[in-house]
Amino acid sequence: MTPESSSPAGMRRDYTERGALLESDLAADWTGQFTRWFADAQAAGLPEPNAMIVATADADARPSARTVLLKGYDERGFVFFTNYRSRKGVEALSNPVASLVFPWFAMQRQVLVAGAVVPVDRVETEAYFATRPRGSQLGAWASPQSQVLPDRAAVEAGLAAAIERFGTEGEVPAPPHWGGLRVVPETVEFWQGRGSRLHDRLRFRRTGEGFVVERLAP
């Protein structure tokens, strides 16, 4: 399939190559279904299949979005880590709701999540931080994420200060302003592309008694 035009409006693909997503295809719960599709994305060789778009909003409902790496998931939700003073950190903690999108377009699939945001406990944060490469650990101390800087030299100076503080060997603790956030799903939608834009959209939605499955119009 090739685009019909170099104009965005003329770039069309008919999603006919990846089959269907029927109710009978679903796992018993959203975690099982996400595990299946995440494994498919890895097996297909997608670059960074754990990359997800995280959308948050400030107190005035002005949204912002960025790509972040998923670091874990289970029945409690999806976890990523960040500087709590960054834009996404401030927004997620002051207006604790978020949306996630896993854009697996090469497979004609998406997973869309919406739900509440809660900080992970400090033990979990510190356990994950200890697994990070040392350069990433130092970077967490070096960068006042999302803040305005005068130039690249300020970034390098921040790293130099972190190296001077912690040296080149030994433990680097997790910064107190850095940690995990868990998006606790209210909905998890599995989107499968189909022909003529009549896509399959099956959504797990939380109720007082668990999750129900709903089909959404394409």
Cα separation, 42 vs 160, in Å, equals 36
Q: Which of 197, 203, 206, 215 is catalytic?
A: 197
Helix (H), strand (E), coil (C) string for 148-159: CCCCHHHHHHHH
Query: Mind giving me the DSSP string for 41-84?
Result: HHHTT-SSTTEEEEEEE-TT--EEEEEEE--EEETTEEEEEEET
Cα separation, 195 vs 55, in Å, equals 28
End-to-end Cα separation, the chain, in angstroms: 22
Q: Which residues, in sequence order, are CB contacts of 116 under 8 Å at separation 6+?
A: 96, 97, 183, 184, 186
Q: Catalytic residue at 66?
A: no
Residues recognised as catalytic? 197
